Amino acid sequence: MPPSRFNQTAWPDSGGHRDFLEFLNAVHRRYGCRSLREIGKAMHLSYTRVHDIVRGASLPVSENQTRSLVVALIGRADAETDQFTDHAAELFIMARRARDEQDSAFEPAARTGDAEAGIAAEPMSESPAATPKPPAVPARLVRRLRRGAVGLVIGAVVVLAVVVTSWAATRQPSPTTAPTTSTVLLQDSFDAAGLDPNKWEAPTRADLIYARDGVLNFVVGPSDTKGGAEARLAPRSVHGFHQIAFVVGVPEYIKAGPGGASMTLTESDGKTHRVIFGPGTEGPIVAALVCSRPECHQYDDYDPPGQYVPFAPGEQVPVRVVQSDGQLQFYARDELIAQGPRGDSPLTSFTFELYGAKEEAWHITVGSLIVSQ
C-alpha cells in the first residue's frame, strides 16, 4: 500500500474529527494516493483548500462536499464506492457536531475565566451593522436528507428555502455610498437603457453582460456554456482609487458549478486581487482572493478564501473593497472577510469577468456601483 500524502501534523489526537481524517486517509491510500492538485481539480477547488481539509485545519463545508471529496480521492463514482461516500458523510456529521459543541462550550468557559480573574465582561453592543446568523437546520432534517427519500428531500428543500428566505428578509443591504470626504470617480446605478459608453468599454460579449432594470446583469444558459463561456467588462478610465463599493445578487439559477462572476482589482505594480460571487454548488456566495505573492494569475496563485459568505437567492449583499494605509480590506455586509498584505501601490483599475462552465445556467447582478478616491 502506498504511503499517504496527507500532512498529519495538525490532526487532533482523538475525537470525531480524527476519525474522519483517518477514514479519508485510508481511502486515499487504498486508491493510489492521487495528488491533492488532481483531487482539487476534480472538485473544482484549489489545492490549498483540499490541503486544509486533509491536514485537519478545516472541515468540508457540507455533506455534499464530503461526498465529492471521497469520489475525488477514489477517482470514480459508482455503486462500489457509494459505501465509502455514505460512511464519510456520517463521520463528517459527527466531526462537525463535535466541533460545534466545542465552540459553543468555549465562550462561556472564557467568560468564566475572565470573571475569576476579576475582569469585568463588557456587554455586547446591538449595533445596526451586526449580522444575524442564519438559524441552524434541525438535526432531524439532516437525518431525513441523508435517507434519500424523494418526498422527504422535497419537503426538506421547502423547509430550508423558508428558513433561508425568512433569514434573508431580516437583512437589509447597507447603503453603498462613498464617504463624504472622498471624491467619486465613477458611479453607476445601471438604470439607463444599456451601458453608458462614456463610462464603460464595450463588453466582450454584450449578450452575457449588459445593463437592464437598474443592475448590471451576468447571464448564461446551457446554450451559452455548451463549450464554456467567457466575457469581460472594463471601465473607460479609473485611476488612483481607494474604495469601490457595489451590491451583488443572484436572482435565480438553474444549474451551478465552478463558474460565476468576479471583479479583478489591479494595483499600480501590476498585482491583482479578486472578489468572486455567484451561485456556488452549495448556494450563492461571496469571497475574496488575495494575492500575497509578487503576482497572481491562476486561481491557485491566490490565498485561499478565509471566509465564504453565503446568501439567499434574491438577497442583495453589499460588498466593499477599501485601501487604507497601504492595506486592502474586503467587506461583505460590512463584515471584514479578508485583507491583503501592506504595500504602497494604489489601485489603478478593475475589470468585471464572467465564466460559465459546461451546462451552467444562472443570473448574477451587480448594482449601485461607486468608485471613489
- pLDDT at 326 (0 to 100): 80
- Rounded to the nearest integer, the mean pLDDT of the chain is 78
- Considering the domain architecture, whether residues 261 and 366 belong to the same structural domain is answered as yes
- Considering the domain architecture, whether residues 154 and 47 belong to the same structural domain is answered as no
Considering only residues 124 and 350, tell me which one the structure prediction assigns the higher pLDDT. Answer: 350
Q: Is residue 145 situated within a structural domain? A: yes
Helix (H, G, I), strand (E, B) or coil at 120: coil
Query: Picking from 12-26, 84-98, 295-309, which range would have the lowest pLDDT averaged per residue?
Result: 295-309
Q: Helices 139-147 and 79-116, interaxial angle, to 10°?
A: 170
CA angle 203-175-275, nearest 5°?
A: 45
Here the CATH number for the domain that contains residue 270 is 2.60.120.200
Host domain of residue 334: 184-372
- Considering the domain architecture, whether residues 154 and 188 belong to the same structural domain is answered as no
The span from the CA of 273 to the CA of 264, in Å, is 6
Here the CATH number for the domain that contains residue 20 is 1.10.260.40
Percent of residues, the chain, with pLDDT higher than 70:
77
- Considering the domain architecture, whether residues 232 and 266 belong to the same structural domain is answered as yes
- Considering the domain architecture, whether residues 310 and 203 belong to the same structural domain is answered as yes
- Considering the domain architecture, whether residues 115 and 144 belong to the same structural domain is answered as no
- pLDDT at 4 (0 to 100): 54
- Considering the domain architecture, whether residues 23 and 76 belong to the same structural domain is answered as yes
Site of grid cell 468555549: 106
Q: Is the pLDDT of residue 348 over 80?
A: yes
Q: Regarding beta strands 335-339 and 327-332, do their DSSP bridges make them parallel or antiparallel, or are they unpaired?
A: antiparallel
- Considering the domain architecture, whether residues 156 and 51 belong to the same structural domain is answered as no
Q: Is the pLDDT of residue 117 over 60?
A: no
- pLDDT at 105 (0 to 100): 57
- Considering the domain architecture, whether residues 53 and 4 belong to the same structural domain is answered as yes
Q: Is residue 126 situated within a structural domain? A: no
pLDDT one-digit tens code per residue, 51-73 = 889 988 889 888 888 998 999 99
Query: What are the two backbone dihedrals, phi and then psi, of residue 188, each rounded to the nearest 5 degrees?
Result: -150, 125
Please return the burial class of 88, using the count of CB atoms within 10 Å of its CB with bins 0-12, 13-18 and 19+. Answer: buried
- pLDDT at 366 (0 to 100): 97
Q: Is residue 179 situated within a structural domain? A: no
pLDDT band, residue 365 (cuts 50/70/90):
very high
- pLDDT at 50 (0 to 100): 85
Q: Is residue 320 situated within a structural domain? A: yes
- Considering the domain architecture, whether residues 280 and 303 belong to the same structural domain is answered as yes
pLDDT one-digit tens code per residue, 224-255 = 877 788 999 999 988 789 999 999 999 988 98
Q: Is the pLDDT of residue 177 over 60?
A: no
Q: Is residue 241 situated within a structural domain? A: yes
Rounded to two decimals, the pTM is 0.54
- Considering the domain architecture, whether residues 94 and 6 belong to the same structural domain is answered as yes
Got the DSSP string for 277-289?
Answer: EEEETTEEEEEEE
Domain count, the chain: 3
CA angle 90-95-100, nearest 5°?
A: 125
Let me know: does 141 contact 212? Beta carbons within 8 Å. Answer: no
Q: Is residue 129 situated within a structural domain? A: no
Q: Is residue 176 situated within a structural domain? A: no
pLDDT one-digit tens code per residue, 187-220 = 999 988 899 999 999 999 999 999 998 999 999 9
Considering only residues 19 and 40, tell me which one the structure prediction assigns the higher pLDDT. Answer: 19
- Considering the domain architecture, whether residues 219 and 297 belong to the same structural domain is answered as yes
CA angle 324-325-328, nearest 5°?
A: 45
Q: Is residue 127 situated within a structural domain? A: no
The kind and range of the H/E element at 141 are helix 139-147
